[in-house]
Amino acid sequence: MANQERLRPDQLRSHRYLGPDDLRSFGHRSRQKQAGFSTEDFAGKPVIGILNTWNDLISCHAHFRQRADEVKRGVWQAGGFPVEIPVMGLSETFMKPTSMYYRNFLAMEAEEVLRTYPIDAAVLMSGCDKTTPALLMGALSANVPSIVMPGGPMNRTSWHGEELASGTDVWRFWAERGAGRLSCEAWCDLEDYIAASPGHCMTMGTASTMTAIAEVMGMTLAGASSLPATHSGHSRMASETGRVAVELAWHNCVPSGLMQRAAFENAITTLMALGGSTNAIVHLMAMAGRAGVSLTLEDFDRISQRTPVLANLRPTGKFVMADFFDAGGLCGLLNRIPDLLHLNAPTVQFRTLGEAIADAPVWNDDVIRLRENPVCSTGSLAVLRGNMAPDGCVIKPAAAESQLLQHRGPAVVFRNYPDLKARIDDPALGITKDHVIVLQSAGPLGAPGIPEWGMLPIPKYLLQQGVRDMVRISDARMSGTSYGACVLHVSPESFVGGPLALVETGDIISLDVAGRTLNLEISEQEFAARRARWTAPEPMFTRGYGKLYFDQTTQAHEGCDFRFLHADGSQDAPPSIY
Ligand code: FES
């Protein structure tokens, strides 16, 4: 990339809109002047589109209006012309049924915005969980030079003298409340403390995982993903991102040049070394589909088995992202595993990944562990197959109680989420800690949107007995801030007739994480009889986005992207101007 030739101004994509002496270009220039800009502001300059995922309901991005201004400052300094373009903010907290339902929507919006407007390079402002993969998917398909400005994790916070972690501690305190150990007043008081600043969730949840992945894939400035959202360095990073975007435009450094097979393998290695979110598997599969890179679930399992977990971060470990930053951040961590990375992979800074992380220090060996003292020697994530999941499913062994990783027990089955909510605490079900809790209809189509329901609740009466983990199985995802012996992404999902749909209460299920299997202990004949009795549910939507989603979404092991986008979009030329 470093040698890529610098374009002349008349070779910029925006020149076709703003340069020629013709009727259309007159219109484009006159409308820039309507907005108060002069010829000197834009003539012969790269146009940098700043895709801002800010809105009032995405509190993780509360600082993005200021950051957009800081990106613009950098763009102006470097001789570019910044244009800010609001795109859909995927709020993990507020979007229902789940922000994942809209990930492909934002990806399509980003792709088309980049394609239709006179943009020479883009700054992708992301942070809250799905915003990073969605924008990268769109940028890959449009194949316009792009750089991610990661939103950064929120600040440390504490409550009643105890350090808190957004997300992870919500689950923990909710379990305490269920067990009768936390009062209603204390639970309400916790609301004021659990998310105490702008920025995405502060654990190694999906947001931190995906921004780290963007960084290791070469799509951010080195060190950018670890910077806390409110640190003054975050503002400086935003401006530098703007400056680099201008250079990306001049050299036409497109995402498909960076996000190649080596970058995906680096992303998986980083995911494992971070003990990152299981959601990253679905997102990386979708991104690979956009990039035309062949990736399978076995790639994740293979790399997991050779990669130690070195980041001692919650929910797998003990610390939060602010500690990770103080300890040296992602660059420090990557510099502990150079032998596991493709160091020649390019980055947006016109240097290789190896050059970006060379000499990066680590200041705290408890937060970023030494190779000889890992949080977990290997196996952060495991891919299982078996007659319950012929196309695969995943578990995060590092976040589960170890005695449950080999388990055999009777199933207690819930047909859907409302059924689970209505009956899980009913003592008449007689659930014991050895039961396997199974949820159906929680997958990409069945829920819809493969929501983060996978950390299925443990019955209150078991919580009161001190039970904190059980084997739980679903076709749902799990929040990256969650934990437990939860088997997720069972594929194919129950809604389309996957074997999960055929499980009945009382069936014996065997889980063997070391052997990578998940099986239902019933005969082939019984399987066939149940399959013959199974009837496909009615589609949920007949119009609108729901119908598009329903008709086109792939299964979890394929990334849940839309089928018609699951291709090498880089071959689509931007439309000509006429
Ligand atoms: Fe936005 Fe967790 S809610 S990252």
Q: Kindly report, residue by residue over 455-468, the tens digit of the pLDDT.
A: 999 999 999 999 99
CA of 208 to the centre of ligand 1 (A): 9
- The pLDDT-based confidence of 572 (bands split at 50, 70, 90) is low
In this structure, the answer to whether residues 500 and 414 fall within a common structural domain is yes
- Look at residue 558 and tell me if it is in a domain: no
- Look at residue 551 and tell me if it is in a domain: no
In this structure, the answer to whether residues 44 and 64 fall within a common structural domain is yes
In this structure, the answer to whether residues 311 and 326 fall within a common structural domain is yes
- Look at residue 488 and tell me if it is in a domain: yes
What is the model's pTM?
A: 0.95
576 pLDDT higher than 70? no
The residue whose CB lies within 8 Å of the most ligand 1 atoms, and thus the one to mutate among 54, 61, 63, 92, is: 92
Out of 533, 552, 572, a domain closes at: 533
CA of 65 to the centre of ligand 1 (A): 18
376 DSSP 8-state letter: B
Atom number of ligand 1 nearest to Cα 479: 2
The residue whose CB lies within 8 Å of the most ligand 1 atoms, and thus the one to mutate among 200, 208, 477, 482, is: 200
CA of 318 to the centre of ligand 1 (A): 19
In this structure, the answer to whether residues 314 and 249 fall within a common structural domain is yes
Region 427-456: mean pLDDT is 95
Atom number of ligand 1 nearest to Cα 481: 2
479 pLDDT higher than 60? yes
Region 480-505: mean pLDDT is 94
Q: Tell how strand 517-520 and strand 508-512 pair up.
A: antiparallel
571 pLDDT higher than 60? no
CATH classification of the domain holding 394: 3.50.30.80
- The pLDDT-based confidence of 135 (bands split at 50, 70, 90) is very high
Spatial separation of the C-alpha atoms in residues 453 and 479, rounded to whole Å: 8
481 pLDDT higher than 80? no
Helix residue ranges, H only, 442-576? 460-464, 524-533, 544-552
Is 93 close to ligand 1, i.e. is its CB under 6 Å away? Answer: yes
In this structure, the answer to whether residues 315 and 457 fall within a common structural domain is no
282 pLDDT higher than 60? yes
Is 501 close to ligand 1, i.e. is its CB under 6 Å away? Answer: no
pLDDT tens for each residue of 76-94: 999 999 999 999 999 999 9
In this structure, the answer to whether residues 146 and 162 fall within a common structural domain is no
- The pLDDT-based confidence of 573 (bands split at 50, 70, 90) is low
The string over 165-200, giving b where at least 16 C-beta atoms fall within 10 Å of a residue's C-beta and e elsewhere, is bbbbbbbbbebebbbeebeeeeeeebeeebbbbbbb
139 pLDDT higher than 60? yes
328 pLDDT higher than 70? yes
Among 78, 73, 72, CA closest to 51: 72
- The pLDDT-based confidence of 180 (bands split at 50, 70, 90) is confident
Domain that holds residue 162: 158-190
The whole-chain average pLDDT of the chain stands at 94
- Look at residue 555 and tell me if it is in a domain: no
pLDDT tens for each residue of 50-85: 999 999 999 999 999 999 999 999 999 999 999 999
In this structure, the answer to whether residues 416 and 482 fall within a common structural domain is yes
* Contacts of residue 228, Cβ cutoff 8 Å, sequence gap at least 6: 152, 153, 154, 155, 199, 234, 321, 322, 325
CA of 15 to the centre of ligand 1 (A): 39
- Closest CA to ligand 1's atom 2: 201
Atom number of ligand 1 nearest to Cα 92: 3
Out of 496, 515, 533, a domain closes at: 533
Is 154 close to ligand 1, i.e. is its CB under 6 Å away? Answer: no
173 pLDDT higher than 50? yes
Rounded to 5°, the CA angle 114-556-173 comes to: 100
Spatial separation of the C-alpha atoms in residues 121 and 543, rounded to whole Å: 35
In this structure, the answer to whether residues 184 and 218 fall within a common structural domain is no
Spatial separation of the C-alpha atoms in residues 507 and 204, rounded to whole Å: 35
Helix residue ranges, H only, 409-488? 417-423, 460-464
473 pLDDT higher than 70? yes
In this structure, the answer to whether residues 240 and 120 fall within a common structural domain is yes
DSSP, collapsed to helix, strand or coil, labels residue 262 as helix
CA of 413 to the centre of ligand 1 (A): 30
445 pLDDT higher than 60? yes
Share of the chain above pLDDT 90, in %: 89
- Closest CA to ligand 1's atom 3: 92
- Look at residue 528 and tell me if it is in a domain: yes
In this structure, the answer to whether residues 148 and 165 fall within a common structural domain is no
493 pLDDT higher than 90? yes
User: Would you state the structure tokens that stand for residue 429, as one six-digit string?
Assistant: 């079900």
- The pLDDT-based confidence of 526 (bands split at 50, 70, 90) is very high
CA of 166 to the centre of ligand 1 (A): 8
Range from 42-46, 166-170, 311-315, 515-519 carrying the lowest mean pLDDT? 166-170
- Look at residue 575 and tell me if it is in a domain: no
- Look at residue 539 and tell me if it is in a domain: no
CA of 154 to the centre of ligand 1 (A): 9
Q: Which residue has the tokens 């990669």?
A: 307
pLDDT at site 171: 82
- The pLDDT-based confidence of 578 (bands split at 50, 70, 90) is very low
In this structure, the answer to whether residues 426 and 489 fall within a common structural domain is yes
Is 207 close to ligand 1, i.e. is its CB under 6 Å away? Answer: yes
Is 200 close to ligand 1, i.e. is its CB under 6 Å away? Answer: yes
Is 128 close to ligand 1, i.e. is its CB under 6 Å away? Answer: yes
Is 58 close to ligand 1, i.e. is its CB under 6 Å away? Answer: no
Atom number of ligand 1 nearest to Cα 58: 1
User: Would you state the structure tokens that stand for residue 355, as one six-digit string?
Assistant: 């050059």
- Look at residue 166 and tell me if it is in a domain: yes
On the question of a cis peptide bond just before residue 448, with omega within 30 degrees of 0, the verdict is yes
* Number of domains into which the chain is organized: 3
* Contacts of residue 341, Cβ cutoff 8 Å, sequence gap at least 6: 216, 266, 269, 334, 353, 354
CA of 402 to the centre of ligand 1 (A): 28
Who wins on pLDDT, 578 or 183? Answer: 183
Region 374-400: mean pLDDT is 92
pLDDT at site 574: 52
Region 295-322: mean pLDDT is 95
Is 201 close to ligand 1, i.e. is its CB under 6 Å away? Answer: yes
In this structure, the answer to whether residues 57 and 177 fall within a common structural domain is no
CA of 248 to the centre of ligand 1 (A): 29
Rounded to 5°, the CA angle 356-227-104 comes to: 90
